[in-house]
Structure 1
Amino acid sequence: MEESWDWEQRRRERLRRKIVEFLIQSSTQLCVLPIVKYAALSLFADRFLPSLHNHNSAATTTFVERMPLKKSWLLQSPIGECNLQLFALISIWISSKIHDTTPLSITSLKSLGDEFITEQHFTTRDFLEAEVVFLQVLNFEIGVSRIAFVFLEDLLIRFREISTTGGLVNFEACMDVMDLLYETEATSTLCCSPASLAAAVLVAAYAIAVPKQQSEFPILSWVKFAISLEEEEVGKLVRKILTHVLNQPVE
């Protein structure tokens, strides 16, 4: 029984990573803004997927038993890779509607789906149904104003304003760290607030990008002051993030 559970857990983790990678690659293909990409990741990886997998929770039972969701073929268990890819595209679409002056069209999303979701063909009607189902699973709670990326962007701008060292921290490097954390599910296992995660990502990117001889800026003390966090808390998060990124223990 335990072996069966372990196998299912590993299968779920592999599938999750594959779908998150698909979402990140789709964001690149669609040339969306970083805020659109990370808001989509928050909606999909931090909220939608946990709602689907926590079948033992009372909240999940409630939403699954709602009539519109129960009838939707898109949520029939086990939910396949193609359906999850569709929902990943839907998360990008919703995020684009929130942040873009001219949101992505359903045509562009469908074209991408036709090209990369090879095992199943989804119609325009399927996309529209998937959007409704996605929103129902989230109980229409799609606020993304306090996600980690928003805090990270603000911190990096402020860092560059007060120190020339900030110019050595590449914004793309910060995003690469964020992407890896989402792919490895570390954003959920780290169990921290969006502000704490953003601060730790910035410090980790600083540790990776800034040469040792130029790394004299007291960045841990500064982020503690900037967002009112305990230095020890941020330090622990940074070590965990660097362990994920470098794939080796960091003291």
Structure 2
Amino acid sequence: MEVEEDAVAAAAASAWPGSSRRRHLLQFLLHASKRLDLRPIVKYSALEFFAGRFLPELPRKLGFCGARSGRAVRSWLLEPLRDSNLELFALVAVWIASKIHDLRPLSVKSLKALGDRIIADQHFTCRDFANAELVFMEVVEHNIGSSSIAFVYLEDLLIHFREISKLGDLLDLDVCMEILDILYETEDTSLLFNSPCSLAASTLVAAYAISVPKQTWEFPILPWGLLHHMMRRKS
């Protein structure tokens, strides 16, 4: 009986915060990334931190939908959990990613200024950003390693592809990133979010189908992508 309850709780937690709300939050983060003119690695790291780690952990940390956690997180930023607060955490994900990848990270003042413009019905202070960062890190249990980012795998796949086939020169990284943005924004392939390797391989195959003329489709892109994906997961 307890196993069944845990399974129901896990299923309910995985469905949180709902597709429309989650889509809004990811669109918000992508919009913020564009406004801040982030480098790709910063943007996609922020997306992974927020969508792949923070949002899935929140139900377990707060006990939503009966989900269990050995360690609760309490903060006024989570009680109640308004959309404006979640948007603040999205900007915090950007801030953390910038600290990891930028020689001159974004300042909290620049993030606050942007938040004042794009977060509706709320103006957060610089101290609120600092507090939100602490809460964010506690929720994800300081899991902010950036080795398993879809963009990192995508760059690696594209480099390898160009090394073994001239058709790789027809693939533009910008096209790959546009596809990756659409996948994040629409969540049409949300099942792939838990596997950055799969997300990167799917993106490369889609870019290949779009960019390479059909008459030159000689390279076995699907088997190669699958093989490369399997090798990366084993390493």
TM-score range, shorter chain: 0.7 to 0.9
- Give ranges in structure 2 of 5+ residues lacking alignment: 1-14
Q: Secondary structure at the match of 2:77?
A: helix
User: 2:27 matched to which residue of 1?
Assistant: 21
Alpha-carbon RMSD across the aligned residues, in angstroms, is: 2.2
Contact 1:46 1:188 in 2 (8 A): no
Q: Which of 72, 76, 94 matches 2:79?
A: 76
Q: How does 1:100-249 map to 2 (within 5 A)?
A: 100-186=102-188, 188-190=190-192, 193-228=195-230
Q: Secondary structure at the match of 2:18?
A: helix
Q: Distance in 2 between matches of 1:17 and 1:224?
A: 28
- Give ranges in structure 1 of 5+ residues lacking alignment: 1-8, 230-251
Match of 1:42, as an amino acid? E
Q: Distance in 2 between matches of 1:212 and 1:218?
A: 13
Contact 2:54 2:136 in 1 (8 A): yes
Shift, 1:112, TM fit: 0.6
User: 2:71 matched to which residue of 1?
Assistant: 63
Q: Distance in 1 between matches of 2:193 and 2:47?
A: 16
Shift, 1:130, TM fit: 0.5
Shift, 1:211, TM fit: 1.8
Shift, 1:116, TM fit: 0.9
Q: Distance in 2 between matches of 1:191 and 1:22?
A: 18
1:208–1:53 Cα change, 3 Å: farther
Deviations 1:98-152 (A, max 9, x none): 1111111111111111111131010111111000000010111111112221111
TM-score normalised by structure 2 residue count: 0.83
Shift, 1:22, TM fit: 0.9
TM-score normalised by structure 1 residue count: 0.78
Q: Secondary structure at the match of 2:71?
A: helix
Question: Percentage identity across aligned positions?
Answer: 53
Q: Distance in 1 between matches of 2:126 and 2:51?
A: 24
1:45 has 2:47 as partner: no
